[in-house]
């Protein structure tokens, strides 16, 4: 242990007793502690919300979606499958039809989004089956009317339940060749409802069989696109680029991050903003450290003069007070990290903070602790406390022995 660090530790002690840290030092440590704990908890909370949103988006859409560059569908999509499956990261592929339509029940009518799927293939690329509230994705009803699965919020708004009939009206321009053409209408029976927790999906999405969608929208054997599931969802961008190269100019691939770019960009921006705002707590603690060190410099002026007269350099005096401030920062950061981890663990384990499920899509505050957040917060806290030591340390180093002990 260097003598500078030894003296710094001594200066942190109270004059009355070497067993207790001075009150002002405790306040400085507590400031850093609270700031670090608050940052860790809030960042983990925002990670939790991001994870929940991501899981629900991935539950209804695949990791990668292939669309035709021109036209309203992909003809003979089966011929693309061997080329697509050459990429080793790809686990499953499923066709789908995606169009807007109008829906009508006995009580209400609305505009919705219709997805036509082959459920046996769809369940291999998305997790939509996990969000089923009631019924099933068996689109064959007993009376030979094709089945439809509605979002829970949409079904409630239409006033329909299992076994009720609704009518879908195709508003595809292929069905409306002129202003006088009537939209194509098909009767469906509600065979299930689902709830993802994402209002956008639950209030406007419906599922019908792939064959029914092709008939309703006059697509023949065409599909709107292909959904693809891969081994690692975070490699979706790279795999999408490989697909673009393999499939050529007639098709383009979009990964899940680009399809919801605005949402995830907003969440990332919000996280950075919260990091900056909550860092101000640590900044306030840093000002407290500055005032503490300045008071110590004034109190220890005689000691500084004696040390300099004994041969200590200005750099050594600077290091003494920099070590003193860093000790406060390190102790506060370690204790803050422990407190932040404990708060996150308690919430994750016991769900202490609950949320109203009718407003949010989850019933408790989500937590997702990430090591990188702990590292980033610790670096920021130590960096701020280090900067706070510079002015008092320079002031102490600038004292001359004569000035320091003139009146002693």
Which residues, 6+ apart, have CB-to-CB distance to 311 below 8 Å?
A: none
Helix (H, G, I), strand (E, B) or coil at 202: helix
Q: What pLDDT does 93 receive? A: 96
> Could you give the CA distance from residue 170 to residue 146 in angstroms, rounded to a whole number?
15
What is the phi/psi pair of residue 193, to 5°? -135, 150
List Cα–Cα distances, 227 to 114, 260, 282, in angstroms.
Answer: 15, 15, 47
Residues 6 or more apart in contact with residue 272 via CB below 8 angstroms? none
Domain range list for the chain: 3-57+263-405, 71-249
pLDDT on residue 175 = 53
Burial of residue 249 (number of CB atoms within 10 Å: 0-12, 13-18, 19+): exposed
H/E stretch holding 10 reads helix 3-11
| Whole-number Å distance between alpha carbons of 270 and 388 | 27
Token digits of residue 31: 């400031």
Give the whole-angstrom CA distance, residue 374 versus residue 187.
Answer: 56
pLDDT, residue 18, reads 42
- The residue behind tokens 């006995």 is 106
Name the pairing type of β-strands 147-151 and 205-209.
antiparallel
Q: For 90-127, what is each residue's pLDDT tens digit?
A: 999 999 999 999 999 998 999 999 999 999 999 999 99
Q: Which residues of the chain have pLDDT under 70?
A: 1, 13-21, 142, 172-181, 357-358, 402-408
Q: Phi first, then psi: give them for residue 188, nearest 5 degrees.
A: -130, 155
Residue 289: the pLDDT is 87
Instruction: List pLDDT tens digits, range 314-346.
Output: 899 999 989 988 999 999 999 999 999 999 999
Its pTM stands at: 0.80
What is the pLDDT at residue 278? 87
């Amino acid at each position: 242990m260097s003598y500078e660090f030894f003296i710094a530790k001594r200066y942190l002690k109270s004059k009355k007793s070497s067993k207790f840290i001075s009150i002002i030092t405790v306040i400085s440590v507590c400031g850093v502690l609270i700031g670090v704990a608050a940052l860790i908890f809030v960042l983990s909370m925002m990670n939790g919300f991001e994870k929940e949103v991501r899981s629900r988006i991935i539950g209804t859409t695949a990791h990668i979606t292939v669309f035709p560059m021109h036209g309203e569908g992909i003809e003979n999509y089966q011929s693309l499958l061997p080329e697509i499956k050459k990429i080793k990261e790809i686990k499953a592929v499923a066709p789908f039809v995606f169009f807007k339509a109008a829906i009508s029940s006995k009580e209400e009518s609305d505009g919705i989004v219709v997805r036509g799927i082959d459920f046996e293939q769809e369940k291999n690329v998305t997790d939509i089956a996990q969000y089923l509230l009631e019924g099933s994705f068996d689109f064959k009803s007993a009376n030979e009317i094709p089945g439809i699965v509605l979002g829970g919020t949409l079904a409630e708004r239409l006033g329909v339940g299992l076994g009720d009939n609704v009518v879908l009206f195709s508003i595809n321009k292929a069905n409306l060749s002129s202003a006088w053409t009537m939209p194509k209408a098909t009767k469906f029976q509600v065979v299930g409802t689902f709830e993802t927790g994402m209002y956008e999906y639950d209030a406007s999405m419906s599922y019908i069989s792939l064959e029914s969608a092709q008939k309703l929208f006059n697509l023949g054997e065409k599909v709107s696109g292909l959904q693809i599931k891969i081994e690692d969802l975070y490699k979706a961008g790279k795999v999408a680029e490989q697909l673009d190269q393999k499939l050529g100019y007639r098709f383009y691939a979009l990964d899940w991050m680009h399809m919801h770019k605005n949402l995830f960009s907003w969440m990332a921006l919000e996280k950075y903003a919260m990091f900056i705002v909550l860092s101000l707590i640590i900044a306030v603690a840093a000002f407290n450290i500055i005032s503490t060190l300045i008071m110590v410099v004034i109190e220890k002026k005689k000691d500084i003069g004696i040390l300099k007269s004994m041969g200590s350099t200005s750099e050594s005096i600077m290091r003494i007070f920099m070590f003193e401030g860093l000790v406060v920062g390190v102790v506060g950061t370690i204790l803050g990290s422990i407190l932040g981890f404990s708060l996150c663990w308690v919430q994750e384990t016991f769900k202490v903070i609950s949320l109203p499920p009718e407003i949010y899509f989850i019933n408790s505050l989500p937590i997702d602790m990430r090591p990188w957040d702990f590292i980033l917060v610790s670096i920021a806290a130590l960096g701020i406390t280090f900067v706070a030591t510079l002015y008092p340390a320079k002031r102490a180093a600038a004292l001359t022995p004569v000035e320091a002990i003139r009146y002693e």
